Amino acid sequence: MQVLRDNLISFVLSSTFGVVVTILLFYFTSHPTTADTIRKRLKSAILKRLHEELGRTEAIVPEITNFLSQEFDIQQVKSIVMFGLWEPKKDVEWHRWIAIFEPQEPRLLDKLVGRPGFYELKSFAHMEVPSPDSLVPSKVEVLDFDGDGIPEVHVTLRSTWADSASIGPLILRKRQGCTWQFLALPAISVLTSQVLQGNSPHPDDATPHGRPIRCFGMKGASDGVVWSPLQDLKDTGVYEDNWILTHNGENIPFVTLRNGGSYQVRRHPIRDHVHLATVAFFADGHAVLSAHYAVVNFLILGDRVMTSDLLWNWGFPMVSKAPLRPIDIDLDSIAKAGIVAHIIGNTFFGYTEFERSMIDQHAWGVVTDQPPDPTAA
């Protein structure tokens, strides 16, 4: 009887001890569940990465300015994308940062208690900025740029200066293998200079089916406007701000457009892909509010960078025939002219035979079998 009582007491004590240990273990290893505790845990991971990347040890909690939660792959797993600002104590430098968290694989204890893993930092990028008014993520939206069914994050970055502002896109794209890419505007000055100096990788006559339109006029202007001095502009850059984004240790240069420069996300009216129209102004040294020669480019997302859209104006930019202000530029007409440059009769032509598309020629106002006259734009 005594042995039975001892065994029973031992069983109760061991069971109680096991339950207490399990509860304590579950409590101290449990994942945060409230918004505040989740945010605190994510901030801790961000601060640790900032210290690793920048070699700084200031105990300052990074400020979160924007965030979104979205499914970015076919696994229906939500990722958290967070944007923020990090201010050092000595006010020497500011850094904008972008952190992407994804659910981690459940650990053994998680599997035992039947809970998912917590979020881990999968991708991190930061940009040194001169002030809190620089590279502000003024707009964050989700779009499918390349039509593969996996959305991208489109961020509009805006900087405010004493005399003007600058603006530009930043695209966050998830690729196969769960790796993230950051794409932004290449130097518009370089893209334009290559064409004006005759160093474009695309032949000037494009194909026998069409040729690029080199210049455009002012909205509502007559056809008699003088052509812009292309040779005089070939060594002139455009108003753009240069930046460096460091993503997972890799430096990525990019620009934002200044002094009236802008961009639009548009859809190719025939091939239906998304491309970005950029409007930049040549840096002639005149006052910000003055008229400047302008250049329009259309870009698409390449493998690792944005590249010229070869199915708009054969990949060539268009330069204004005269100095213009932003209000003088009819981007809709310029966009259509770049499409018309590919159209003869009822066919839209690309560089290869596979890029032919049948169209309604009357809808586009092109009813001739001759290439379009470039001076008519």
Which pLDDT band, with edges at 50, 70 and 90, does 24 fall under? Answer: very low
Between CA 33 and CA 217 the distance in angstroms is 59
Q: Rounded mean pLDDT of 36-40?
A: 75
Can you tell me whether residue 195 is helix, strand or coil?
A: helix
Specify whether 327 is located in the same domain as 371. Answer: yes
Position 158 in a domain: no
Q: Is residue 181 part of a domain?
A: yes
Least confident of 31-35, 187-191, 196-200: 31-35
- Are 243 and 101 found together in one domain? no
Q: Give the total number of structural domains in the chain.
A: 2
pLDDT at position 366:
59
Q: What pLDDT does residue 23 have? A: 42
Q: Compute the Cα dihedral for 74, 78, 80, 81 and give only its sign.
A: positive
Are residue 233 and residue 337 in the same domain, yes or no? yes
Residue 184 lies in a domain: yes
332 and 223 in one domain? yes
Q: Specify whether 120 is located in the same domain as 214.
A: no
Q: For position 17, what pLDDT does the model report?
A: 43
Is the domain of 183 the same as that of 43? no
Share of the chain above pLDDT 90, in %: 27
Q: Does one domain contain both 183 and 308?
A: yes
Residue 57 covered by a domain:
yes
Same domain, 208 and 123: no
**Strand, helix or coil at 314?**
helix
> Coil, helix or strand for 113?
helix
Q: Kindly state whether residue 145 falls inside one of the protein's structural domains.
A: no
Instruction: Tell me if 22 is assigned to some domain.
Output: no
Q: 172: domain range? A: 165-376
**Are 238 and 110 members of one domain?**
no
Whether 238 is covered by a domain: the verdict is yes
Sign of CA dihedral 105, 110, 114, 117: negative
Contact 322, 223 (CB under 8 A): no
Task: Determine, yes or no, domain membership for 239.
Answer: yes
Whether the pTM exceeds 0.75: the reply is yes
Which of the listed residues 132, 156, 190 is the one where a domain comes to its end?
132
Q: Quick one: 175 and 295 in the same domain?
A: yes
Q: Per residue in 330-354, is it b (16+ CB within 10 Å) or e — as a string?
A: bbeebbebbbbbbbbeebbbbbeee
Lowest-confidence pick of 115-119, 233-237, 262-266: 115-119
Name the band, by pLDDT with cuts 50, 70 and 90, for residue 27. very low
| Percent of the chain whose predicted confidence (pLDDT) is above 70 | 67
Q: Specify whether 62 is located in the same domain as 201.
A: no
